[in-house]
Structure 1
Amino acid sequence: MNKLIKYLKPFQLPIYLGLGLVLLQSLAELYLPTLMSDIVDKGVVTGDTQYIWKIGGLMLIVAAGGMICSVMASFFSAKAASGFGKSLRSKLFSHVGDFSLQEFDQFGTASLITRTTNDITQIQQVLIMMLRMMAMAPMMCIGGIIMALSKDTKLTLVLAVAIPILLLIILIVQKKAIPLFKAMQVKLDKLNRVLRENLTGIRVIRSFNRIDHEKKRFDQANWDLTATAIKVNKIMAAMMPTMMIILNLTTVAIIWFGGIRIDHGHMEVGDMMAFIQYAMQIMFSFLMLAMMFVMIPRASVSAGRIVEVLDTAADIKDPVNPIAPKQERGVVEFQNVSFSYPGAEMPAISNISFKMNPGEVTAIIGGTGSGKSTLINLIPRFYDVDSGKVLIDGTDVREMTQESLRQKIGFVPQQAVLFSGTIAENIRYGKEEATDEEIRHAAEIAQAADFIAKMPEGYSTMIAQGGTNVSGGQKQRLAIARALVRKPEIYVFDDSFSALDFKTDAKLRAALKEETGNAAVLIVAQRVSTIMDANQIIVLDNGQIAGIGTHKQLMETSEVYREIVMSQLSEEEIA
């Protein structure tokens, strides 16, 4: 929690104003019982009506002032807490944006969403309470004790018995609540994960008739969270009546012993009435502290989870003194590159060496799990190599800034991702300042212009979240258009033609050849027909290169490649 205090610095003025107003509110509330005591002892007992009206009017003014201070204090507290939440969310979002894929895998998407939303909201709510209750409770407690002592010293012995009992209850509640709050946040992560998987995988779930299974999974995660929440609420439910019993017994004790002291002439009725109110204020200040002690542990758990993310440094960082790329443009070279995923027993790829030149098409083919996607993820530096080098234009990618590196690359991922917005906005995502003409041209090359023209609003047609209102092939073509509008030096297509029919595939490759003539093109493909015309084909097998060459050369030299070709093409097509 302490590590997050620095994010409160921009909001010091509303915090100080809020605390100042809370102080004035507390003073007003502490002054009211004394005025009431004076009305009883000097006005009611003596029958002085004018004095009652005078002090009564003063009480109304003090009460109104206290109310105004309370409203203003709430305003400034909410302003500071909301600003703090906004600042922390922005910091967390930008920090997570710098993570490599490795850190995303470490935390999990569901957990990062929970930490950015629910956890920060928990801290924000507690901060409002702290600025109001945490500041007010000590003032009311200390002020109440001082005022109670001024009314009757001996009667405060009743409070000396009640207050330690209240503190003991608070400590017991805190000890039992903290572990449960920690468990709740973890179980909330699990619930979010199950829900997210259910929503994103709804087609698979329905196609395999696993709806009942997923309902059971969700119900189990939901009930697990509910059971923990019920335990916490039981503690809360037991705490409040217990504290109210102590509060009421304390009031009874004050009236009992106060009545004896009045009978002996050591105290007046007004003083006892004021003493009861001060006792209530003291006890309610402990109730406020109890509420804080219940809320703070939950906020501290949330704060710990947020700090955990903020303290996690991204593995992939820009160099202190980045090197500008050389004059070569679009040259990609792998030099003895090896890479292993964290915790993996075997490297995903090992000893990979090849070179891509501008104006040439390099294709990668291999069986499932051969390391194709891993290899291309090293080019835009989504991961860093374990050994060897990946060079872009003669410069190691680790010696370039990530921005300058990725400006050179037009990347089309295996799973085409579209964002909510118009078709034009999705294509323009590749180049923010792209003109309408550039967008249309990119769509034509990607063979997307025809289906866009058939849509009711053309390029202004809205794409639903996740691109659910377009087909898989349409998604891929829009993703390709997004890369084309960028006009990069290097194109990377990660199995980006898999959802296209053979006719569209052939037309797209022909259009691409003309459009990307001066760029280096890397294509990962499953279909041999997609890559037969490539300048060089790299065959991967178990993370290693099993052959490099043209289609004709590999048919003569690579057994692995021949097996792939034989499995896909007929003898006539091979010939």
Structure 2
Amino acid sequence: MMIKAIGKYKALVIAALLTMLLQVGAALWQPSYMKRILSVMADTTLTTAGKVDKISNYGIALIVIAVIGLVGSILNTITAAKLAQVVSADLREMTFRKIQTFAYADIEKFNSANLVVRMTNDINQIQTLMMMIFQVLIRVPLLFIGAFILSIITLPQLWWIIIVMVVLIVVVTGLSMRSMGPHFGAFQKLMDRINAIARDNLRGARVVKSFVQEKNQAKKFDKESDDLLGHNLAVGYTFSTMIPAFTIISQLAIFAAIMLVSTFITKSPSVAQDQLGGIMSFIQYMMQIMFAIIMGGMMSMFASRGFVSMGRIREVLDAETSMHFATTTDEELDGTVEFDQVTFAYPNDEKPTLKDISFKIEPGQMVGIVGATGAGKSTLAQLIPRLFDPTEGTVKVGGKDIRQVSQGTLKKTISIVLQKAILFSGTIAGNLKQGKQDADTTDMDRAAKIAQAAEFIDRLPERYNAEVEERGNNFSGGQKQRLSITRGIIKQPKVLILDDSTSALDARSEKLVQDAFNRELSGTTMIIIAQKISSVVHADKILVLDEGRLVAVGNHKELVANSEVYRQIYATQKAKED
């Protein structure tokens, strides 16, 4: 996944690597000049003027090397940051596009809050990881190897000090990583839960305040937040012991090196000049080795969080959608709808929601679906536009199995208007064009009049360019439902499904909508799911569901006479009205 994302930006990758090499080269080059300066100062054969001249030349060389390293560092930061930004942007777009291909079942499998965290927090972690890779993680082994070789070349007698220091630092780093690894793995899961709590609390703010649940919601959030704090503190405590341990190890190594060099000089004064010059370079190389190991360990621990996030993004990108379309060729279908022994169970549910459902609806018929709460009415409706696939049996539209037609054909043939009116922030026109991309004002006017939305749209100064706030909060429940109906009928579908989509309308508005449907959509197959029998009493056919089974089919008079379930529902509602 990462290699594919990076592969598009080879020039940036090469630039980041070259500037990194410039940094490493400058860092490894500097200590050799320090050795030369100290050797000149210890050289008794040179005059003071000669020493000053040589030290000046070496000093200028050191400044040039430092400038080269600084330029390399600046350019490396720029290229690494740009590369991290463009790759993370690509991954975010790829993830969003992939989610758009998911069926309802796939989204429920991941959970919407989880997917939001993956597209935001996880991709931010990957962006940080990219910066680390091209600024630190690749530089660290190069710096370590180069400093290790040069330190041994500088003072071969002290090679074992380097080995001992490296072993001790690696052991401390390994123990620390082992301690912190599980905490980094828990971070993202806790972020998922915190995001879910915050999202639910904000969306349900009215419910929370209505039932005075602020304290309970705060306690729930605090618990998850405290868990996250605990993991962060555990990581912080480990870091607080790592740095002093590294400092002690490095200082002991420097002390041992100085003591041994002083012993060498005492025993062999003839090598004093070379040893004195080399000790400073040796110490600098030791510090670079220690810095490389420490930075590598610390960055690896932080990078582990990035790799966890990368795995979570890969899960989304590699996920196979549970719904496939047999063809991409669009075709014309009529409004026939047929269920043939359809059974459906939601993922992970043992008990099926629908059981052995069979019926046929002819083009242009108005069909009502009624039943008690939980009878499976909405589930049945969602099978028709193929939001889910049946577990058993066949759903046909226009005489064809919907699994054998294209997505474009289904979209063109079927519209569904849900009970919960979902509007997107933007404009009214933007929401209506989700039903028909090329809809013009004439199309909008016609659909709005049928849905009785023109009543309030015409009162708005901007009309269809009026702003729609987040989730349509600037419209009432009835207005949102009428806008949803407008969006559903604007493309003039062959099959229109209304899933209790007039529940928020008053009796007068509902009657006007029904009259407009009968007048303007007489050739459209209409499937109306209703809690109120009065909404479907004039339907050509009414399907009665009970505990997931189709228990009766007929018009209102036939069902009152022959169906006990229908009669009970009707009698209950009639009594309430009376």
TM-score normalised by structure 2 residue count: 0.95
Partner of 1:475: 480
Aligned: 1:339 with 2:344:
yes
Query: Shift in Å at residue 393 of structure 1?
Result: 0.9
**Distance (Å, rounded) in 1 between the aligned partners of 2:479 and 2:395:** 32
1:29 to 23, 27, 39: 27
Partner of 1:360: 365
Q: Is the 8 A contact 2:42 2:276 kept in 1?
A: no
Aligned: 1:487 with 2:505:
no
Partner of 2:220: 217
**Distance (Å, rounded) in 2 between the aligned partners of 1:540 and 1:4:** 50
Please tell me the residue identity of whatever aligns with 1:499: A
1:147 to 150, 153, 174: 150
**Distance (Å, rounded) in 2 between the aligned partners of 1:444 and 1:251:** 86
Query: Shift in Å at residue 456 of structure 1?
Result: 4.9
Aligned: 1:445 with 2:450:
yes
Partner of 2:140: 137
Q: Is the 8 A contact 2:428 2:468 kept in 1?
A: yes
Please tell me the residue identity of whatever aligns with 2:438: E
Q: Is the 8 A contact 1:44 1:52 kept in 2?
A: no
Query: Shift in Å at residue 357 of structure 1?
Result: 2.4
Query: Shift in Å at residue 322 of structure 1?
Result: 5.9
Partner of 1:277: 284
**Distance (Å, rounded) in 1 between the aligned partners of 2:131 and 2:298:** 13
Query: Shift in Å at residue 440 of structure 1?
Result: 2.4
**Distance (Å, rounded) in 2 between the aligned partners of 1:198 and 1:571:** 35
Q: Is the 8 A contact 1:195 1:218 kept in 2?
A: yes
Q: Secondary structure at the match of 1:347?
A: coil
Q: Is the 8 A contact 1:337 1:386 kept in 2?
A: yes
Query: Shift in Å at residue 416 of structure 1?
Result: 0.7
Partner of 1:9: 7
Any residues of structure 2 matched to 1:1-150 within 5 Å, and which?
3-42=1-40, 45=43, 46=46, 47=48, 48-150=51-153
Please tell me the residue identity of whatever aligns with 1:435: D
Please tell me the residue identity of whatever aligns with 2:81: A
**Distance (Å, rounded) in 2 between the aligned partners of 1:455 and 1:57:** 74
Query: Shift in Å at residue 244 of structure 1?
Result: 2.2
Q: Which runs of 5+ in 2 are unaligned?
A: none
Query: Shift in Å at residue 335 of structure 1?
Result: 1.1
Any residues of structure 2 matched to 1:290-309 within 5 Å, and which?
290-309=297-316
Please tell me the residue identity of whatever aligns with 1:295: F
Please tell me the residue identity of whatever aligns with 2:423: L
Partner of 2:230: 227
Any residues of structure 2 matched to 1:531-546 within 5 Å, and which?
531-546=536-551
Query: Shift in Å at residue 521 of structure 1?
Result: 0.9
Partner of 1:518: 523
Query: Shift in Å at residue 572 of structure 1?
Result: 10
Please tell me the residue identity of whatever aligns with 2:19: L
Please tell me the residue identity of whatever aligns with 1:72: L
Query: Shift in Å at residue 515 of structure 1?
Result: 2.3
Query: Shift in Å at residue 346 of structure 1?
Result: 2.0
Quickly say closer, same or farther: Cα 1:471–1:104, change in 2 above 3 A.
Answer: same
Q: Is the 8 A contact 2:132 2:303 kept in 1?
A: no
1:466 to 443, 459, 471: 471
Query: Shift in Å at residue 324 of structure 1?
Result: 5.8
Please tell me the residue identity of whatever aligns with 2:33: L
Moved more, 191-200 or 435-444: 435-444
**Distance (Å, rounded) in 1 between the aligned partners of 2:479 and 2:576:** 32
Q: Secondary structure at the match of 2:338?
A: strand
Query: Shift in Å at residue 538 of structure 1?
Result: 0.7
Please tell me the residue identity of whatever aligns with 1:388: G
**Distance (Å, rounded) in 2 between the aligned partners of 1:328 and 1:225:** 54
Query: Shift in Å at residue 44 of structure 1?
Result: 7.2
Partner of 2:294: 287
**Distance (Å, rounded) in 2 between the aligned partners of 1:188 and 1:504:** 45
TM-score normalised by structure 1 residue count: 0.95
**Distance (Å, rounded) in 2 between the aligned partners of 1:405 and 1:44:** 88
Query: Shift in Å at residue 119 of structure 1?
Result: 1.2
**Distance (Å, rounded) in 2 between the aligned partners of 1:155 and 1:14:** 41
Please tell me the residue identity of whatever aligns with 1:239: M
Query: Shift in Å at residue 514 of structure 1?
Result: 2.1
**Distance (Å, rounded) in 2 between the aligned partners of 1:381 and 1:12:** 42
Q: Secondary structure at the match of 1:205?
A: helix
Deviations 1:457-494 (A, max 9, x none): 33222111111121111110110111121211111111
Query: Shift in Å at residue 234 of structure 1?
Result: 1.6
Q: Is the 8 A contact 2:415 2:495 kept in 1?
A: yes
Partner of 2:386: 381
Quickly say closer, same or farther: Cα 1:44–1:102, change in 2 above 3 A.
Answer: same
Q: Is the 8 A contact 2:333 2:413 kept in 1?
A: no
Aligned: 1:249 with 2:245:
no
Deviations 1:154-208 (A, max 9, x none): 1232212111001111111121122111112111111111111111111111121
Quickly say closer, same or farther: Cα 1:571–1:423, change in 2 above 3 A.
Answer: closer
Question: What is the identity percentage for the equivalent residue pairs of Structure 1 and Structure 2?
Answer: 35
Q: Which runs of 5+ in 1 are unaligned?
A: none
Query: Shift in Å at residue 423 of structure 1?
Result: 1.5
**Distance (Å, rounded) in 1 between the aligned partners of 2:486 and 2:110:** 32
**Distance (Å, rounded) in 1 between the aligned partners of 2:344 and 2:501:** 23
